Amino acid sequence: MASPPLAGIRVIELARILAGPWAGQLLADLGADVIKVENPAGGDDTRRWGPPFVKSHDGENLSAAYYHSTNRGKRSIALDFATPEGAATLKRLIGSADVIIENFKLGGLKKYGLDYESLRTANPRLVYCSITGFGQTGPYAARPGYDFIIQGMAGMMSITGEPGREPQKAGVAISDVFTGLYAVIAIQAALRHVEQTGEGQHIDMALFDSQISILGNQNLNYLVSGKPPVQIGNAHMNIAPYEVLPVADGHIILAVGNDGQFRNLCKVIGLDALADDAAFATNPARVENRAELRKTLIGQLASWQKDTLLAKLEAANVPASPINNIAETFADPQTIARGLRMDLDDGHGNRLPSVRAPMLMSKTPPVYERPSPRLGEHTDEILAELEAREK
């Protein structure tokens, strides 16, 4: 088996909470040596973002589950770069690095000589990725960035939730997660540029930009029509029926994407004539008459048991599914078959839960050699490597 694709790449992570660490974790999965720099006085804030907390076999608190969700595969060095000695050590460490990921406020690292302009002369190949709420430019650049606020400001919450009800954020910090993913894409592209030219560069990532970008078709719905999309609950702006519907023992998802699937749905549930009704025969007609369609479907599905209906819909090639909670998701045979849950040995007699990255690569698979590090766990190891390198 070949080495992982980013083997030999060293990343210095000056980041905490989610977006920056999410990027660092993915780079570690792909084989990079990711060194997480943490303040000795507590480390990453998410170590304390619990309960729940991960416990060792002897009851030791190994940090919050939140921390472990985004720091797998890294090494941790405890270093206070607010001190001259700490800053000097960090600059030496950066001299061996290919990438820096940082999520400090605008200009927050300049006073330590750790901003891109200060570092690029000593290391012209350095790829320096800054992650902030609003980016390095614009009237909001100095504002702190919080996923919840970004979802509100960047349009996400205006299209999430039921009509007439309180706007809703997504159930996970999607602005942070997607910014982390986009950061990894940009970092890999910048590393390719380094290979070709020897030149590093500064990457400016903003949660605000990422959240707007991922609105996808909703952006174009507005830009083409001039009408901003609104909350429509679980329904789809452009397709019907594509929503949650009640049945006798709960709810199911129907995701009917074309007229043939709609005809098959009608046949399964005993509404054959509906597929030939001009008000529902085509997707544009169904979208126009979605309220009447929903009412009809609710009445027809009221007597159906969820499992029975889903089996018949699957046999008829009608896209539909249950709505699993997360426990049900991890118990699902597809989840088990794909090996999405992992338990990683921390070298201290503990098996720590994790979730693998969603890439399966036949030649250069991701590596999962260590769980999230304890605070400063690798300080001595990293400093010893640095001393040896400088001799």
Tokens of 270: 């005993």
CA angle, 18 as apex, 236 and 42 as ends, to 5°? Answer: 155
Q: Rounded CA gap, 331 and 324, in Å?
A: 10
Which entry of 176, 204, 276, 307 is annotated as an active-site residue?
Answer: 176
Residue with tokens 């039921």: 162
pLDDT of residue 1: 64
**DSSP letter for each residue of 203-220:** EEEEHHHHHHHTTTHHHH
H helices of 121-270, in order, are 147-153, 174-197, 207-213, 217-225, 259-269
Tokens 């690095």 sit at which residue?
A: 97
Alpha carbon distance 277, 149 (integer Å): 45
Predicted local confidence at residue 391, as pLDDT: 81
What structural domains does the chain harbor?
10-215+339-390 (3.40.50.10540), 242-326 (3.30.1540.10)
Is residue 104 within 8 Å of residue 14, measured between CB atoms?
Answer: yes
Nearest-angstrom CA–CA distance, 97 and 353:
29
Q: What does the pLDDT read at residue 12?
A: 98
**Model pLDDT, residue 237:** 86
Q: Tell me, yes or no, if 176 is annotated catalytic.
A: yes
* Number of Cβ atoms within 10 Å of the Cβ of 60: 12
3-state helix vs strand vs coil in the chain, percent to 5: 40, 15, 45
- Could you tell me the strand order of the sheet in which 75-78 lies? 75-78, 33-38, 10-14, 99-102, 127-132, 201-206
Write the pLDDT tens digit of every residue in 340-350.
999 999 999 99
Using 70 as the pLDDT threshold, list the residues of the chain that sit under it.
1
User: Which conformational region is residue 367 in: left (phi greater than 0), alpha (psi within -120 to 50 degrees), or beta?
Assistant: beta
d(CA 314, CA 217): 27
